[in-house]
Structure 1
Amino acid sequence: MLFSGSTYAARSTVSRARPSLLWGAMALAGAIVVPPAIAETGNPYLAQSYNSVTHWDHGGAQNAKIAVPRGFYDATPASEQLVPNESVSLPLLSDKVNGKDVYWWWAGFSLRKLTEDHGQLVELAHADIPVKLPNYTPVTPEQRREQAAKVQSFLDTKDEKGLLDYMKSQPNRMLSAASDQIANGAVYAVLTRDDAFIGCSGRTVFRIDSADTKNPASPLKLTKLITLPANLFDNEKAKHGTRLPVDMLFGLSITHNGFLVVNTLGGKVITLDRHTLDVIDSYTVAGNDELFLNSFATGADAHGGSVYVASNTTMYRLVVDAHGKIHDDEASGAWKAPYERGERMPPPKLADGTGSTPSLMGFGPKDDKLVVITDGAKKMHLVAFWRDQIPAGWKQKPGMLSPRIADQREVDLGPGIDVVQSEQQVSVFGNYAFVVNNIAPDDARSAPLDSAPYYVNLLLGATRPAGAGAATMIWQQDKHAWKQLWARPDVASISVVPMISGGSHMAIIDGYFTKRWNDRQYIGMDLDTGKTVMTIRGGTDPIFNGMYSPIKVDLQGHFLYGTAFGLLRLDANAMRRIANPDTSPAATVQGTH
């Protein structure tokens, strides 16, 4: 067990990073530029920080204005710090409490409150939730590190059978760790204005509060845990349309007028009181086979009640009124629009339709106001919907399924990549939108020995090839249209949600170069050119496997996010500089016009 006040063991003492070779004028000597704007989320009911929900902010942009060091590095023991987890651990949220940076990290079955002290992450408090999973026995932090080392040995020898047998033998349900988070953990979570952590899993919603919101070291307490009524779920619908056996909660956020919202796999959106967690209202999609396979974004539109959520057939803006009631009529400001759902794809896709949580774009007075997803086409399109009023005189574009679609463009990764589909959110920043492909080619898609997501995710890119390709498009405000700037068929993002570092003007993935499988890298690509401008080599160690988490960084530009075996913090200032490893002809950037 980890105890309050203890300092987590790092491989070496870590010093604060000082970035170099940062993007243009965004860098000052010895300091990272952090524009003041990132201190505000725009949602008065969320923590007023740059990182208040699982996908950074309420709009699902998956970006930060924080600068991350450009350059090429090998991770060293001195540059790494791992806080071992209990199971897969996705949400990491942050806020300032009495002037101190504090992190709320979901460790699998408990919430840890952390801060940094002389380059070390220190636990301030923790709170557990009940674990109702059968045959689960917790392991110590030391045992978790041993598990990571053992997994690495199996991956290095490409022993998929040995790895499977080992995972099955572990007392902490290692094989089902990813699925366990959906059933009894937290995938989507928020940090409220008063620094309450609210998460959901299975059919449960819970709230964990600090005893004293002005004291960083104040104890945490599980104050509310409720199970939603069975009549809000449809097991048969979920089972028929996905690979999941039961209906469950899938997303969570807070509207700008203060209501907690969750959605279900089976196609319901539900409002709750954010304090008591009492159910207020629910909305059900009309389609017999309509499902929600991702979370949602919220916005200030429609008097702060807008909820942008995409089913596998339709993009919705629902409106939550001042009483928490959900509306889908135009008079309330709601709308819906069909998009191309495509066909059911192999894993990691769960079903047909979009694999992305909606992302909001366009906030300037003259910007097009958009909400963005990828669709379900075999070669997916990047689809932008008008999120507020459709411009006067606007005519539906040829090939679009609705006048609500401002534009859509096929993501072209070049010859030889005929299937392009993603289970990741679109990362947006300004007019830029970055997407990745998660579907492996047919000749590399042999079935693994077990379909457990944690097991498969460890294999992909290590013992077998994975889906490859990434691309950036830019929204042309004058033409109301996408333009693809570049594509990279030679990089692979396995399951980790990419991010855009606005301060360094690059898109970042956690994955591989396709010519260097089982040699994990963080790869930063210039937003305009696609050229590799940053790499951090993690090698074969699975602690660098982000395992479905969104990539995140702290205010100092350190990578800091949940991975397969814990919370990982990386300090580029303590790494070894190397030559750019991206030298193969396959790394040529493919621009499209």
Structure 2
Amino acid sequence: MTTRMWDAAPAVGLGLILALLLQACNRETTSTTPTPAPAAARPAEPPAATPLNMPPPNPWLAESVYPTSHFNPAATDSVLIAGPVGSRNLTAADVATVPTLITSNPTMKRVGGEVIAFASGAVGVQKIRVTGDAFEAVGGLLPYPGFEKSAAMATPTALDAALTQLDAAYRAKDETKILDALKGLGAAGLNMESGINGVYNLFDRDGNHYCVYGGTHVLKTTDGNLVGDPPRIVKTADVAKGLPADVARSVTRIIGLNMTYDGFLAAAAPGALIILDRDLNVKASVTFNGEAVDNSIVIDENNGIYVVTEKHMNKVIWNGTTLSTDEKDGAWSSAYDSMPGEKALAMGAISRGSGTTPTLMGFGSDPDKLIVIADAAETGSNAVAFWRDAIPAGFQQKPGTQSNRIADQIRIDISQMTIEPSPNVLGYGVAFLNSTYPKPLPAGPGNAFTGGITRPAPIGIQKFNWNPDKDAFEKAWINHEVDNTDIMVPVVSAATGLLYAAHKDKGVYQYVGLDWTTGEIKSRWVFPDDSRRWNALGGITTVMDNGDLMIGGVFAVKRLKIGGGGTTARP
């Protein structure tokens, strides 16, 4: 049963999430039965006083509900359109799939009256037609350059063979067999190099798709905006080769990718921020005094770029030609509470410092403009809000914070350690998932598939509201039911007032809709059977145009045909 905490009533960083497939952790669920809840009445809307301004559209991104990872350059993981409502047990006809080897989050573009998704996965890019309620692969998998051999291994037959073995091991509740079955993914092309390929990706306004693979490579592909044509490579570039030698030494892999509001690619790598033009030429770079960068980046409409390192939250200014870290240009840097990276990794974290991609809060006429992360304090993670622009006149540094750049911070009660999934932000509400595995495995994808089965799972979601009158976070609610084993970033629909999250109940995969105002589960969709096919490991939940949900995962991209919504809330 859901438990709520009301102290006051008033977003997987995704960065290294897929490294869970190569370095992980887990725990057991205490949720309800897989029988769906009765159909719910339309949930409460977000409070009328909650601002619902959204990030300004980036004119250089494709027109769609989901042109880039985390939905928009601000990484809010929220939308104004309506997601699904109601509850039911899904049938096979309710879930369409396209086989892929680990896809985190397909992005989408419009081509005339059609909608196209590109799923950049572990070994290549798969095009999918998603117009209306369609979910059809277009052509075969386009391998990443240098990954042709692995891509040839990632056949539907190989994926099904690994899945069959894993399902049998799960049904036996045998941890040794589960871990042995996961080795079968190696026969389908998964290895240490391919595991985090393609995580961050985007479409530009001309319909070109960009993603990161092979550590330091960026790939540009296109289908020529022809619905029936498969994707083809336009260009690939090894970013490290375009950097000064002293910068290149720290760029061993690119973590995140985003688009500035003047049409340049911004890439995050350990220790560096890099700007490329859309022809993949390096234009500028800046380093962070040897501090690791293990998350993606966000960008405001004035091309302030926000980068969280293992010790500092930084605002870097892009002026169209150069990057600046100078305060006179509007840049800033603030320390936040963080344990040593080696200690965090030893405890099962997959990031040094904050695990979250930063998220912007406050847009348009909203009185406060903030940037929000979860920190890496040794006593447990805090939600931390920084002033994005000038610090308000008269604002005094709050006790226990590292600087007066920090508007407020508050303990996240559900987490014992660094939080990995990016927070969800809608208006002045922000929700965090617990991603601490109580009894982590030392390595491998085992955490995602033993959690809630043979080991305890990370449980719980907590929401806070920002009070601009008090310059403070206030606790809204805690849900103690949701199983976060998949470390799947949820999505919030303003139209339905629901947060849609991945969940498992006694090992059976579900999707649930939590009331954004109360945290109660209002909707529940149980997958057709107990297969591991329905995992959503390391992805970002997408609300599609008609209210369906699209999710990634290890064996397939899935479309849950449960919508029928679209741009307005249901009556």
**TM-score bucket (shorter structure):** 0.7 to 0.9
| Corresponding residue of 2:459 | 468
| Corresponding residue of 2:198 | 186
**Equivalent of residue 153 in structure 2, options 119, 132, 138:** 138
Partner-residue secondary structure (3-state), 1:161: helix
Partner-residue secondary structure (3-state), 2:153: coil
Structure 1 CA distance for aligned equivalents of residues 542 and 368 of structure 2: 27
Alpha carbons 2:503, 2:511 under 8 Å: kept: yes
Compared CA separation, residues 573 and 192, structure 1 to 2 (3 A) = closer
Q: State the one-letter code of the partner of 1:350.
A: I
Compared CA separation, residues 133 and 466, structure 1 to 2 (3 A) = farther
| Corresponding residue of 1:517 | 506
Offset, 1:130: 2.1
**Equivalent of residue 207 in structure 2, options 195, 200, 219:** 195
Q: State the one-letter code of the partner of 2:476.
A: L
| Corresponding residue of 1:580 | none
Offset, 1:218: 4.1
Structure 2 CA distance for aligned equivalents of residues 52 and 222 of structure 1: 19
Show the 5 A alignment for 1:42-57: 42-57=57-72
| Corresponding residue of 1:158 | 173
**Equivalent of residue 122 in structure 1, options 118, 133, 136:** 136
Offset, 1:216: 2.7
Q: State the one-letter code of the partner of 2:223.
A: S
> Is 1:83 equivalent to 2:98 in the alignment?
yes
Unaligned segments of structure 1, at least 5 residues:
1-18, 27-35, 239-245, 575-593
Offset, 1:247: 2.8
Alpha carbons 1:395, 1:403 under 8 Å: kept: yes
Q: State the one-letter code of the partner of 1:558.
A: D
Structure 1 CA distance for aligned equivalents of residues 347 and 417 of structure 2: 13
Alpha carbons 1:91, 1:105 under 8 Å: kept: yes
> Is 1:283 equivalent to 2:280 in the alignment?
no
Kindly provide the CA deviation profile for residues 257-304 of structure 1, in whole angstroms up to 9, marking residues without a partner as x: 222111112x11111111x21111211102x4x111100101112xxx
Offset, 1:71: 2.7
Kindly provide the CA deviation profile for residues 484-531 of structure 1, in whole angstroms up to 9, marking residues without a partner as x: 11112332212111221222212222123xxx4312222221122111
Structure 2 CA distance for aligned equivalents of residues 219 and 37 of structure 1: 37
> Is 1:270 equivalent to 2:284 in the alignment?
no
Alpha carbons 1:167, 1:174 under 8 Å: kept: no
Structure 2 CA distance for aligned equivalents of residues 234 and 152 of structure 1: 48
Structure 2 CA distance for aligned equivalents of residues 63 and 23 of structure 1: 17
Partner-residue secondary structure (3-state), 2:135: strand
> Is 1:314 equivalent to 2:305 in the alignment?
no
Structure 1 CA distance for aligned equivalents of residues 408 and 501 of structure 2: 26
Kindly provide the CA deviation profile for residues 218-243 of structure 1, in whole angstroms up to 9, marking residues without a partner as x: 442201111123666999998xxxxx
| Corresponding residue of 1:558 | 548
Q: State the one-letter code of the partner of 1:505.
A: G
| Corresponding residue of 1:544 | 534
Alpha carbons 1:175, 1:455 under 8 Å: kept: no
Partner-residue secondary structure (3-state), 1:401: coil
Offset, 1:171: 5.5
| Corresponding residue of 1:579 | none
| Corresponding residue of 2:477 | 486
Alpha carbons 1:465, 1:517 under 8 Å: kept: no
Structure 2 CA distance for aligned equivalents of residues 547 and 207 of structure 1: 25
Offset, 1:25: 7.8
Offset, 1:64: 1.6
Alpha carbons 2:491, 2:543 under 8 Å: kept: no
Structure 2 CA distance for aligned equivalents of residues 139 and 347 of structure 1: 33
Partner-residue secondary structure (3-state), 1:164: helix
Partner-residue secondary structure (3-state), 1:282: strand
**Equivalent of residue 490 in structure 2, options 479, 495, 498:** 498
Alpha carbons 1:385, 1:407 under 8 Å: kept: yes
Alpha carbons 2:106, 2:552 under 8 Å: kept: yes
Offset, 1:51: 0.8
TM-score (normalised: structure 2)? 0.83
Structure 2 CA distance for aligned equivalents of residues 191 and 125 of structure 1: 19
Kindly provide the CA deviation profile for residues 17-54 of structure 1, in whole angstroms up to 9, marking residues without a partner as x: xx98444689xxxxxxxxx998x962111112221111
> Is 1:350 equivalent to 2:350 in the alignment?
yes
Q: State the one-letter code of the partner of 1:310.
A: V
Alpha carbons 2:210, 2:219 under 8 Å: kept: yes
Alpha carbons 1:187, 1:199 under 8 Å: kept: yes
Alpha carbons 1:407, 1:480 under 8 Å: kept: yes
**Equivalent of residue 112 in structure 1, options 110, 116, 126:** 126
Percent identity over the alignment is: 26
TM-score (normalised: structure 1)? 0.80
Structure 1 CA distance for aligned equivalents of residues 330 and 313 of structure 2: 14
| Corresponding residue of 2:331 | 334
Partner-residue secondary structure (3-state), 2:195: helix
Partner-residue secondary structure (3-state), 2:166: helix
Q: State the one-letter code of the partner of 2:515.
A: D
Partner-residue secondary structure (3-state), 1:563: coil
Compared CA separation, residues 149 and 130, structure 1 to 2 (3 A) = same
CA RMSD of aligned residues (A): 2.8
Q: State the one-letter code of the partner of 2:511.
A: Y
> Is 1:533 equivalent to 2:522 in the alignment?
yes
| Relative contact order, higher structure (CA 8 A, sep 6+) | 2
Offset, 1:63: 1.1
Offset, 1:173: 4.6
Compared CA separation, residues 237 and 71, structure 1 to 2 (3 A) = farther
Compared CA separation, residues 484 and 24, structure 1 to 2 (3 A) = closer
Compared CA separation, residues 278 and 504, structure 1 to 2 (3 A) = same
Compared CA separation, residues 25 and 550, structure 1 to 2 (3 A) = closer
Partner-residue secondary structure (3-state), 1:435: strand
Compared CA separation, residues 81 and 316, structure 1 to 2 (3 A) = same
Compared CA separation, residues 467 and 37, structure 1 to 2 (3 A) = closer
| Corresponding residue of 1:243 | none
Structure 1 CA distance for aligned equivalents of residues 280 and 119 of structure 2: 21
Structure 1 CA distance for aligned equivalents of residues 257 and 437 of structure 2: 30
Q: State the one-letter code of the partner of 2:182.
A: M
